[in-house]
Amino acid sequence: MSNKINSIEIHLEPASSPRLAQLCGPLDDNLKQLERRLGVEISYRSNNFQITGRHGMCLIAGSILRSLYVETAPLKGGDIPELSPEKVHLAIQESHALEQDEENTQHYGKELNIKTKRGVIKPRTPNQASYIGNMLGHDVTFGIGPAGTGKTYLAVACAVDALERQEVRRILLTRPAVEAGEKLGFLPGDLSQKVDPYLRPLYDALFEMLGFEKVERLIERNVIEVAPLAYMRGRTLNDAYIILDESQNTTVEQMKMFLTRIGFNSRAVITGDITQIDLPRHQKSGLRHAIEVLSEVPALSFNFFQAADVVRHPIVAAIVEAYEEQDERDRIAEEKQKQRREAAQKLSQSGGE
């Protein structure tokens, strides 16, 4: 199956702001649920929707959006039916999207194994195998999806493999380190020590693959370099394997700056989760923007992971599922409370008249 990124556009008719508000849900929660479950990215302006991801998943997401929009048709009294998270969940289940995706990807060709001195790292899902294949075959690879899908771990594994094969001379680890307003200048230690806590997942993967002592030696020799994203401006990185982690928290300008730092014989992997953006509401994520702008560039590869790709301890899947169910219950309770307030306000206004 081709893993090339595709975009489709759909137009929902007739255009209706109240119906679109129900379709998207509070703070676009319904769209985020579709993105998380189907591994796609959805953007919209008025009644025009753009869906980006693997072609089959885009078509399924478009079909679900159309069917859900039909359910928001006004009732006889003119009221717009409520579109709850449960209805969105049922629509996804009824589409059999996840089962179809599993059938389409179960035969994904030869396994792509990464050999390190600590052992062989094998992909555990078809999406992981495609991700590794794209990292080996493309200069710039995007890994997009929820936590626990192996985005960062596999990126570090490929970087270590390239370093040990002498395909690159160094590894550079970076991520936006000040997205929540922390002032790194007031923290003790040198630059590496200040940024270390933010890059702990990358370090953990390096330690597992190379061992603590070797990683420390490579850092001392600057073969492995740690740098906050803001410090990369003005640099040109040749013969390097560069990993940008948590890229959903980059601004559009930061993402453009990072992508234009890539030099000769360098590879870059950009990982992120578009459902966990910590930027201020008025600021657009550089990762979302890159998906929209770069989707047609043939030299890049985009890989969208799904909840089914989570490969951590089995209890993690149960925990994630429990939190998602609680989030849905909270959203329902909040929506009902909002409706009660609006009803009470209308009753108060009518009484005053």
Q: What pLDDT is stored for residue 221 in this prediction?
A: 92
Q: Are 105 and 303 in contact (CB under 8 A)?
A: no
pLDDT at 145: 86
pLDDT at 190: 63
Q: What is the pLDDT of residues 286-343, one digit of tens each?
A: 999 998 888 778 778 898 887 777 766 556 666 766 776 787 788 888 888 888 888 8
Describe the chain by its helix, strand, coil percentages, rounded to 5: 50, 15, 35
User: What are the tens digits of pLDDT across the range 29-68?
Assistant: 889 888 877 878 899 998 999 998 888 888 899 999 999 9
Rg of the chain in Å (alpha carbons): 23
* Sequence-separated contacts (24+) of 74-83 with Cβ below 8 Å: 74/19, 80/18, 80/19, 80/22, 81/22, 82/22, 82/335, 83/22, 83/23, 83/25, 83/30
Domain boundary assignment for the chain: 1-107, 111-311, 313-353
**pLDDT for the residue 287:** 92
Instruction: Find all residues with CB under 8 Å of 260, minimum gap 6, and list them.
Output: none
- Lookup result for tokens 């995007």: 142
Q: Give the number of other CB atoms < 10 A from CB of residue 151.
A: 27
DSSP string, 284-327: PBHHHHHHHHHTT-TTEEEEE--GGG--S-HHHHHHHHHHHHHH
Which residue positions in the chain have pLDDT lower than 70? 1-4, 96-113, 115-119, 177-196, 311-318, 320-321, 324, 351-353
Strands 170-174 and 224-226: parallel
Q: Do domains 1-107 and 111-311 have the same CATH topology?
A: no
**Sheet architecture: strand order including 41-45:** 6-11, 48-53, 41-45
CA–CA separation, 107 vs 130, rounded Å? 11
Output the pLDDT for position 102.
Answer: 47
Give the closest residue to 88 by CA, choosing from 26, 34, 11: 34
Its pTM surpasses 0.75: no
When the pLDDT of each residue in the chain is averaged and rounded to a whole number, the result is: 81
Dist. CA 336–CA 339, nearest whole Å: 5
What is the helix (H) or strand (E) element at residue 242, kind and residue range?
strand 240-244
At 192 the pLDDT is: 60
Domain 111-311: CATH architecture, name and number where available: 3-Layer(aba) Sandwich (3.40)
Provide the pLDDT for residue 177. 65
d(CA 239, CA 226): 16
The CATH class of 1-107 is alpha beta
pLDDT of 112: 60
